[in-house]
Structure 1
């Protein structure tokens, strides 16, 4: 094992231990509040006696975000982006096909299927665990779900960048030479199928945290979608003086176009791009805690992969089941594991003939 690999392993190990503390933090704070107030909600509360119940219209909005609501929002914003030329004619037929398939397939097939079979299977695996956490007050349930869901995705995302073996499963999301609604769901199907927090959320919903999960999922969808948008909606928070304090807190708490666009940059040489960091999805604060983030309040001039070969959409979606025919591609048969680590050998002029020519002239 090289020194760099050993150091990275040690960092991942250390950060994993910190993460365990972060996972239990909201649970510990919840029980501390119970101790201070002398309350024991697990003895009296039922699913019919929630400490918080959203108005029907608000509940309907969050419920529909998981079905037609968010796709409708993304479609409207995407049309705006496209109409004002924010894709800069980079949305080719191949890119367009990939984005559309990646948008539709997980929403109408993969995630609903995982949730359905998960909730059907859990009663057999954990028959006594159904609704065991239904007594948890809504806001504490919200905090527990938010940390559990997003911190798990942070690690899932980070490991796909830091472990070469996993990189090609996530590469599809970074190959787009643009940012916008069109590529928000752009992922390899296997990366999506093993999306770790999907299974965690299904399990916690079965255990009684379904109502908090509804709101966490809705808010997270809005934040992550907005962070991918090519509309720089966060810029006024950095340029308008009286909004600066809000912007300072916001960019450290959640993902914004400035921080997440940096993660999709095609280079780190400009001091703006940080594709080997800024891993946060809903919360950017994980990057600050683990030292993987940078904040510049600027936006990259180019996105994607410098070594991108515009591989066939089906190869990007279904690798390694289907491989690319593009020679030298990471997705091709016997292709490099990580394309940007392949050394490019520059051709140098051959000087021998020139020296020989000079010698002949001198001889004359």
Structure 2
């Protein structure tokens, strides 16, 4: 089963540790201001905006603005084409149903969220929060990026972890794990409900409104690059394990961020091989959360098979739109009256 009920004592401890992690970068920033005898929050909004623009190279602003708009989409398509040409999807059950599901999950959110984001940013936020526009514009770029990176990724770690530990939530995340392969084609593969309730577009919109748009774009771009590369079937991290002179870099890298080896293990369809670890390795951008909370394993190896043992290749529309549409596969977790979590078939 791809879920695990957490012990209350461990869960409580992990939540308390998380609170400390959320507060740590803010405390470090304030301590820095105290030591440097700086009080940027006392400066005018116009002055803080001027300082931010002067301290951030224009090429950096342009790069991450375009990366979020169209760069990541182009990158995913290019890497996906390379994967197909290299034959990395051959003999991996990439059927017509799987292709449609992957394509819909890639395209639909990007089309649907554009008008939602525009309304949210231009209409709803000024109405709900009329007096806080540019409230945190005084936060320096790199401090803002650190605070956002920790807050955003730690929250997503918990969002992801709970979908594996709370049976009710599992079916909203199941679509992502049903793919019997890894690659760019399935990187965006999620049930629409899972995507809607945790989408970075809301966070970026809010942070932009509060004056932290540039650090938010920077973090969002870096995070997307890391998570896309961790899902890729191109095992770019292998040289760090096979070349002795790169071992020190690999040791740090695999503990800091998600890599194909650590994230592929999360998508394995079994734990019997000592490599698969779908009940852990929850980190999205940072793998360090899994080390802190004891949910990660590092093997420097890649699973042979991926997906879910109980997978019945449910209809693409059921996987994308459950529970609005349900599967016709009898006994499926996505079928009407189906089990909340299906038992894996015995070998």
Q: Same fold (TM over 0.5)?
A: yes
Match of 1:48 in 2: 50
* Within-5 A mapping of 1:205-220: 205-220=208-223
Report the alpha carbon displacement of residue 41 of structure 1 after superposing the two structures with TM.
Answer: 1.0
Match of 1:168 in 2: 171
Say which SS state the counterpart of residue 276 (structure 1) adopts. Answer: coil
Report the alpha carbon displacement of residue 115 of structure 1 after superposing the two structures with TM.
Answer: 2.7
* Cα gap change, 1:102 to 1:345, in 2 (>3 Å): closer
Report the alpha carbon displacement of residue 197 of structure 1 after superposing the two structures with TM.
Answer: 4.8
Match of 1:147 in 2: 150
Which one of the candidate residues 76, 81, 84 is aligned to 1:82? 84
Once residues 73 and 130 of structure 1 are traced to their aligned partners in structure 2, the CA distance between those partners, rounded to angstroms, is 33
Report the alpha carbon displacement of residue 202 of structure 1 after superposing the two structures with TM.
Answer: 2.7
2:337 maps to 1:338: no
Once residues 344 and 280 of structure 2 are traced to their aligned partners in structure 1, the CA distance between those partners, rounded to angstroms, is 22
Say which SS state the counterpart of residue 49 (structure 1) adopts. Answer: helix
Higher mean C-alpha displacement, 63-72 vs 172-181: 63-72
Which one of the candidate residues 105, 118, 126 is aligned to 2:108? 105
1:287–1:293: 8 Å Cα contact kept in structure 2?
yes
Report the alpha carbon displacement of residue 278 of structure 1 after superposing the two structures with TM.
Answer: 0.3
* Cα gap change, 1:192 to 1:52, in 2 (>3 Å): farther
Match of 2:66 in 1: 64
Once residues 318 and 36 of structure 2 are traced to their aligned partners in structure 1, the CA distance between those partners, rounded to angstroms, is 57
Look at both structures and tell me which one has the larger radius of gyration over its CA atoms.
1
Match of 1:128 in 2: 131
Match of 2:289 in 1: 286
Which one scores higher on RCO, CA 8 angstroms, separation ≥ 6? 2
* Count of aligned residue pairs for this structure pair: 339
CA RMSD of aligned residues (A): 1.7
Report the alpha carbon displacement of residue 269 of structure 1 after superposing the two structures with TM.
Answer: 1.0
TM-score of the superposition, structure 2-length normalised? 0.94
Q: Please list every run of 5 or more consecutive structure 2 residues that lacks an aligned counterpart in the other structure.
A: none
2:310–2:345: 8 Å Cα contact kept in structure 1?
no
Report the alpha carbon displacement of residue 84 of structure 1 after superposing the two structures with TM.
Answer: 1.3
Report the alpha carbon displacement of residue 199 of structure 1 after superposing the two structures with TM.
Answer: 3.2
* Cα gap change, 1:13 to 1:343, in 2 (>3 Å): same
* Within-5 A mapping of 1:1-364: 8-44=7-43, 45-50=47-52, 53-89=55-91, 90-110=93-113, 112-119=114-121, 120-195=123-198, 197-339=200-342, 342=343
Once residues 259 and 300 of structure 1 are traced to their aligned partners in structure 2, the CA distance between those partners, rounded to angstroms, is 10
Once residues 344 and 226 of structure 1 are traced to their aligned partners in structure 2, the CA distance between those partners, rounded to angstroms, is 32
Say which SS state the counterpart of residue 212 (structure 2) adopts. Answer: helix
Say which SS state the counterpart of residue 49 (structure 2) adopts. Answer: coil
Once residues 130 and 72 of structure 2 are traced to their aligned partners in structure 1, the CA distance between those partners, rounded to angstroms, is 33
Report the alpha carbon displacement of residue 24 of structure 1 after superposing the two structures with TM.
Answer: 1.0
Once residues 263 and 51 of structure 1 are traced to their aligned partners in structure 2, the CA distance between those partners, rounded to angstroms, is 40
* Cα gap change, 1:251 to 1:343, in 2 (>3 Å): closer
TM-score of the superposition, structure 1-length normalised? 0.89
Report the alpha carbon displacement of residue 261 of structure 1 after superposing the two structures with TM.
Answer: 0.2
Report the alpha carbon displacement of residue 332 of structure 1 after superposing the two structures with TM.
Answer: 0.4
Once residues 343 and 70 of structure 1 are traced to their aligned partners in structure 2, the CA distance between those partners, rounded to angstroms, is 36
* Cα gap change, 1:217 to 1:289, in 2 (>3 Å): same
Once residues 61 and 35 of structure 2 are traced to their aligned partners in structure 1, the CA distance between those partners, rounded to angstroms, is 31
Report the alpha carbon displacement of residue 281 of structure 1 after superposing the two structures with TM.
Answer: 0.3
Once residues 233 and 212 of structure 2 are traced to their aligned partners in structure 1, the CA distance between those partners, rounded to angstroms, is 34
1:152–1:197: 8 Å Cα contact kept in structure 2?
no
* Cα gap change, 1:52 to 1:162, in 2 (>3 Å): farther
Report the alpha carbon displacement of residue 113 of structure 1 after superposing the two structures with TM.
Answer: 3.7
Please give the per-residue CA displacement for 1:207-236, whole angstroms capped at 9, x wherever unaligned.
Answer: 111110010011011000000000000000
Q: Please list every run of 5 or more consecutive structure 1 residues that lacks an aligned counterpart in the other structure.
A: 347-364
